[in-house]
Amino acid sequence: MDSALTDPHNGSAEGAGPTNGTTRPPSTPEGIALAYGSLLLMALLPIFFGALRSVRCARGKNASDMPETITSRDAARFPIIASCTLLGLYLFFKIFSQEYINLLLSMYFFVLGILALSHTISPFMNRFFPANFPNRQYQLLFTQGSGENKEEIINYEFDTKDLVCLGLSSIVGVWYLLRKHWIANNLFGLAFSLNGVELLHLNNVSTGCILLGGLFIYDVFWVFGTNVMVTVAKSFEAPIKLVFPQDLLEKGLEADNFAMLGLGDIVIPGIFIALLLRFDISLKKNTHTYFYTSFAAYIFGLGLTIFIMHIFKHAQPALLYLVPACIGFPILVALAKGEVTEMFSYESSAEILPHTPRLTHFPTVSGSPASLADSMQQKLAGPRRRRPQNPSAM
């Protein structure tokens, strides 16, 4: 997980610097302000809209729309898994050719990016289809074994509208694969972030505190304690970060002096903010106090990160500033309103997600989160269909 905010404008190793030994001209104050402001805006969009979509996702009765739920056990293991993954990538880049590794990663994220972007734009695109559009249903099913031992590996349902969205997303995918353009990178990065906030749900506030607290330590250690995270962020040619050029005003769309923000700095606080929105709704007071408080706290924390980075000219672990703000501000509001007990006793999976499957492992490429949830729901429903066939013991 890349979650460092880096600033390359000082000519240091924090960004993609020139390879011919020449010194990059310093960015203008206007270019720096534009880059920082754009990164902040791009970070806020998937959090805000992802949180709103997470509520609709949680209330959906269709099994294919059910999210993955993160429990306290998952949250405690996540920093360890993230650290092992980060260190593994660092060693891979040190041992093997960076060119071939990035080629494999590009193909991997090419497929994931197309699926994520298609899922992101699908609700928006559905408004443009005419009422008489010939929409047909399809199902991609891939199983292993036979008879009672048959196991679903991929079970993906889609329709003609989804194919249209998939085709449009594929254009962006080919653009990214051929050019690695920063706009295509950001489109995929925003799609990954929005899908993460929408489909990954914390089951309660305590789990959120465990997850954010663990990644707070993870972020500080790997950014300040070693050069691992910054090295991986620079070497990893994949849409795991949002970037914006600080020399856009001078070079236009071909600019190459980037500031970057890791997707972990968006998704991790984002799923906590989305949880607080669902908590607001559970209070049934027609107010979104905790959501707006945590959203404002995120703006404050990320703004403080950018300010500190600009002053010290060094990459900053954004979660160092985001975690205290996103946890502390809502808790202070809860203390002032006398709702601390309600906040920490709230169970997202119990109130809105009564049948959400528990996340026992982190999703792989073998299907979307929706298809994984659908598969688990079918397994849960199987015994209930067979129960009437058993003779009564009485």
β-strand 258-262 against 200-202: which pairing, if any?
Answer: unpaired
Cα 209 from Cα 188, distance rounded (Å): 28
Strands ordered across the beta sheet of 241-245: 241-245, 258-262, 4-6, 316-317
Is the alpha carbon torsion for 49, 78, 59, 204 positive or negative?
A: negative
Q: Pick the catalytic residue from 74, 265, 280, 374.
A: 265
Cα 237 from Cα 1, distance rounded (Å): 13
- Bridge partners (DSSP) of residue 137 are 159
Q: How far is CA 345 from CA 118, 207, 339, in A?
A: 36, 11, 10
Concerning whether 159 is annotated as a catalytic residue, the answer is no
Q: Pick the catalytic residue from 2, 162, 219, 280.
A: 219
Name every residue whose Cβ is closer than 8 Å to that of residue 100 and which is 6 or more positions away in sequence: none
Concerning whether 265 is annotated as a catalytic residue, the answer is yes
In a 3-state reduction of DSSP, which class is residue 140?
A: strand
Cα 180 from Cα 336, distance rounded (Å): 49
Q: Find out whether 188 and 167 touch, Cβ atoms under 8 Å.
A: no
Active site members: 219, 265
